[in-house]
Structure 1
Amino acid sequence: MKKLALHWKIIIGLVLGIIWALLSSQLGWSEFTVNWIAPFGTIFINLLKLIAVPLVLFSIISGVANIGDPASLGRMGGKTLGAYLLTTILAVGLGLTLVNIIKPGALVDEQSRIDNRISYEIWADAEGYEIKDGINYLKDPAFLERAQKISDLSKSELQDATVSEKMETADKTKDAGPLQPLVDLVPQNFFKALTDNGLMLQIIFFALFFGVCLLFIPNEKSAPVTKLVDSIMEVFLKMVDLVMQAAPFFVFALLAGVVSKMAGDDIGKVWEIFKGLSWYSLTVFAGLMLMIFVIYPLILKLFVKQIPYKGFFKSMSPAQTLAFSTSSSAATLPVTMECVEENLGVDKKVTSFVLPIGATVNMDGTCLYQAVAVVFLAQLHMIDLTLGQQLTIVLTATLASIGSAAVPSAGLVMLIIVLGSVGLNPAWIAIIFPVDRILDMFRTVVNVTGDATVSSIIAKGEGMLHYKEPKSASETFDMDS
């Protein structure tokens, strides 16, 4: 096992975790798994988040301060945001294309879709939304009794605590003024921003501001501060090394807990949950896999010819497998930075600046999933979204992704805002809750892969890419070495 590369150990941990969860469900041990094994998975994510926030802070300060030239900083910042925006639009466009071709919502039996349609019309009437396609089942006497039953069901569903909580969060975002995102960017209390998971953009703002100011003071005064920041960053990277040595065992606990909570003591629940949402899940999965294995490699081939297809995935596999298991690009950030620096040969000046920003603003996987989810839910309720409404989804999903927290299932809150932008019921997120956690794992892999792709492109443009293809598997980044 000692000679086995880290990413293979993590994959073994993933598989064993799922097998254990299904076995414990069959034997009635799910409560034991949730109470005595799953907490170690939570500890793992907490440890990575503990490291991630200060690492973002000090790595951005270090990256900006070591650039040396304020003009270079502005140029790199513009290229970074432009590249992330481009990949986000590609992801949303791909998602909309797939969901309109496959039509996963239309593959559900028609009787269920009629019931869903009646439920939608009841909601739209109560909320004052206009039904634009001219179809109205509520006016048909044949559906009156069914409509009454569906109305009662909808009211009970809306009382779901988890949905209500996410709707309340989305309402606060929706009701804010047009410049509220700009106001939220600037912290009034930096230490509060450090302790609040949702304020990563404020930490990035402070780090950029601090780093830029270091560029404008005499070198003899800034050098000690820069040296201290670099040293602190190295300490946090060593913390990552130590935590990752136990990653396969932590990942086993994490996956065992996630699947056990879904299944309980009835293994059939997992099958029923996934069977009902299979076409939706397959559509999202297809889009995410195309992003990882086709779109990003094509972009790399276009801009960075020296990184081969296999070499890229070999270099990034530890970060990708960790992203899959944690569902958090922020928690994966320390490993992503190390993979990009050590394996892809991207200069630390680039990774320290581009990757922490990417972990916050680059949510390609989340945007693709939002596009598919909104159209799927519309199809499920027999609603045909116009081209204009689908373009609204593109714009809203892109802007919503910028402020989306890099933590598990944060995309669900943003999805509520996207649903509202095209006049659909935000409570419908409850429909896709059961499969969201699994798909979230794949979405995070897309986000991390996109971050690595963009950082490689920026490094190439700045003349800071020094990729060397490893001669053997042992030269690929392995935390255990």
Structure 2
Amino acid sequence: MSLTNKILLGMVLGVIVGVVFNLIMGVDQAHQTAASPLGQWLQVFVINGLFDTIGQIFVASLKLLVVPLVFVSLVCGAASLGGHNRMGALATKTLVLYLVTTAMAIALAMGVAVFIQPGAGVDMALSSTYSAPPAPSIKETFLDIFPSNPVQAMAEGNMLQVIVFSILFGIAISRTGGEIALNMRNFFEHLNEVVLKMMMLLMQLAPYGVFCLLVKLFASIGFGAILDLAKYFFTVLFVLLLHAFGVYGTLLKLLSGLSPVIFFKKMWKVAVFAFSTSSSNATLPVNLRTCEHDLGVDNKVCSFSIPLGATINMDGTAIMQGVATVFIAQAYNIDIGIAGYLMVILTATLASIGTAGVPSVGLVTLAMVLQSVNLPVEGIALIIGVDRFLDMVRTAVNVTGDAVVSVIVAKSENMLDKTRYENMQLNAEVDPV
């Protein structure tokens, strides 16, 4: 059995076992606690103990690779591209596409939500409130992009600062020239191979990590929370799928002329991995490997665009914010008008960059969006129950968007191997999952 099929099997079994545990424990959906003594014992020692521990170790082992992989791959790419006169154009195209797709995502989400009206008739008796962590100001956002201490940036996992330092370091190598530059490039290329081999070793744990993560999730929330907010849940889910297949597929065809069908066939395993881990950073090594080896994107392009996308490109999160804003406005019976909707699009698009390093980024940016149009932030408490599952889906959308932009930019710069892109016979030795 291939590793991809093992991961799929782990997902299915994780959902089934999680639901069975949920039924055995009799979990109270409002407080996510078991009712019986046996259920409480299972929840503490088996679900939150054994399964959660294994799942968190798996996610931590993947995140272990994020900083070294981003640093080494970006240095390699920038060192090779440093003297290239198209580097500025490549970076500009990547940033513009990320911002445009995010704006399209939130506009689509609000359009569909206004039509479906998921918040109509919702009972606003709140039993809990939500307090968002403070978001950084625009000045702090820009200052935080540039590192004063690259070692500290790597230790804290501040990916924007790591990206800036890596690009500067790679360009410096390319401008050094001579034997020194050659030796440094060879060193980082060899180091890159070692990091990728380490990734392949850790990927063997993926089926077991995915199984434990999903057992813990479905044992805790079950399907009761989803049914309580079914209209909101399925509206967000519908827009996520529409954006992933409709918008991304159309952009790929129009801007690159490449087949979206081939793209989605090669990307589905990355999307499955992102869904099961619910982390763009944890999926970053897999996405990088797939873009380069399966989709034929030049390493110079994907080593820049994929890490940057994992940090600032949040189309899935923007979709959730668009639907949630309309949902909360309807639930509180507040009309924000056309100007309000335009303000939401602008705020959410800029916030996708501004809060890139903030924990619980989706809910933090949603609080900012709600405040920009004077909607009550307490309304976030209504959707927290189903946000965990939707977060898994929107992570899959986010990483798919990163790959779409990488392919489009690479094709526009003649840095895409079309033969490799169209070849469906993937090399098992380099296939990450």
Normalising to structure 2: TM-score of the pair? 0.90
- Note if 1:228 corresponds to 2:187: yes
Write out aligned runs for 1:183-202 (5 A). 183-197=143-157, 199-202=158-161
Question: 423-432 vs 234-243, which deviates more?
Answer: 423-432
Q: Paired residue for 1:38?
A: 52
CA offset at residue 370 of structure 1? 0.8
Q: Deviations over 1:62-120 (max 9, x none)?
A: 11111142422111111111111111111111111111111100153xxx25x57xxxx
Q: Paired residue for 1:395?
A: 346
Q: Residue 11 of structure 2 contacts residue 276 of structure 2 at CA under 8 Å; is this kept in 1? A: yes
CA offset at residue 304 of structure 1? 2.2
Question: 467-476 vs 375-384, which deviates more?
Answer: 467-476
Q: Paired residue for 2:170?
A: 211
CA offset at residue 39 of structure 1? 1.2
Question: 403-412 vs 434-443, which deviates more?
Answer: 403-412
Q: Paired residue for 1:375?
A: 326
Write out aligned runs for 1:45-60 (5 A). 45-60=59-74
Task: Return the match for 1:169 from 123, 127, 134.
Answer: 134
Task: Return the match for 1:411 from 336, 349, 362.
Answer: 362
Question: 333-342 vs 201-210, which deviates more?
Answer: 201-210
CA distance in structure 2 between the aligned counterparts of 1:41 and 1:407, rounded to whole angstroms: 22
- Note if 1:64 corresponds to 2:78: yes
DSSP 3-state at the match of 1:463: coil
CA distance in structure 1 between the aligned counterparts of 2:172 and 2:121, rounded to whole angstroms: 57
Write out aligned runs for 1:232-247 (5 A). 232-247=191-206
Q: Paired residue for 1:332?
A: 283
Q: Deviations over 1:168-199 (max 9, x none)?
A: 333xx2xx3x42211111122222211224x2
Q: Residue 291 of structure 2 contacts residue 302 of structure 2 at CA under 8 Å; is this kept in 1? A: yes
Q: Residue 78 of structure 2 contacts residue 300 of structure 2 at CA under 8 Å; is this kept in 1? A: yes
CA distance in structure 1 between the aligned counterparts of 2:237 and 2:11, rounded to whole angstroms: 18
Q: Residue 17 of structure 1 contacts residue 255 of structure 1 at CA under 8 Å; is this kept in 2? A: yes
Q: Residue 315 of structure 1 contacts residue 477 of structure 1 at CA under 8 Å; is this kept in 2? A: no
Task: Return the match for 1:277 from 199, 221, 229.
Answer: 229
Q: Residue 248 of structure 2 contacts residue 404 of structure 2 at CA under 8 Å; is this kept in 1? A: yes
- Note if 1:305 corresponds to 2:257: yes
Write out aligned runs for 1:90-109 (5 A). 90-108=104-122
Write out aligned runs for 1:454-473 (5 A). 454-467=405-418, 468=420, 469-472=422-425
1:455/1:476 Cα in 2 relative to 1: closer, same or farther (>3 Å)? farther
1:357/1:471 Cα in 2 relative to 1: closer, same or farther (>3 Å)? closer
> What code does the residue aligned with 1:256 have?
V
Q: Paired residue for 1:136?
A: none
Q: Residue 290 of structure 2 contacts residue 431 of structure 2 at CA under 8 Å; is this kept in 1? A: no
CA distance in structure 2 between the aligned counterparts of 1:471 and 1:233, rounded to whole angstroms: 26
1:181/1:479 Cα in 2 relative to 1: closer, same or farther (>3 Å)? closer
> What code does the residue aligned with 1:79 have?
K
Q: Paired residue for 2:139?
A: 179
Q: Deviations over 1:331-350 (max 9, x none)?
A: 10100011111111111111
Q: Paired residue for 1:132?
A: none
1:182/1:479 Cα in 2 relative to 1: closer, same or farther (>3 Å)? closer
1:476/1:54 Cα in 2 relative to 1: closer, same or farther (>3 Å)? closer
5+ residue gaps in structure 1? 117-152, 264-269
- Higher radius of gyration, 1 or 2: 1
CA distance in structure 1 between the aligned counterparts of 2:326 and 2:349, rounded to whole angstroms: 16
Q: Paired residue for 2:214?
A: 255
CA offset at residue 407 of structure 1? 8.9
Q: Deviations over 1:291-323 (max 9, x none)?
A: 1111111111112224x2331122112211110
Normalising to structure 1: TM-score of the pair? 0.82
DSSP 3-state at the match of 1:104: coil
> What code does the residue aligned with 1:67 have?
L
Q: Residue 185 of structure 1 contacts residue 205 of structure 1 at CA under 8 Å; is this kept in 2? A: yes
Q: Paired residue for 1:10?
A: 7
Write out aligned runs for 1:333-352 (5 A). 333-352=284-303
Q: Paired residue for 1:294?
A: 246
Q: Residue 328 of structure 1 contacts residue 408 of structure 1 at CA under 8 Å; is this kept in 2? A: no
CA offset at residue 228 of structure 1? 1.6
CA offset at residue 33 of structure 1? 2.2
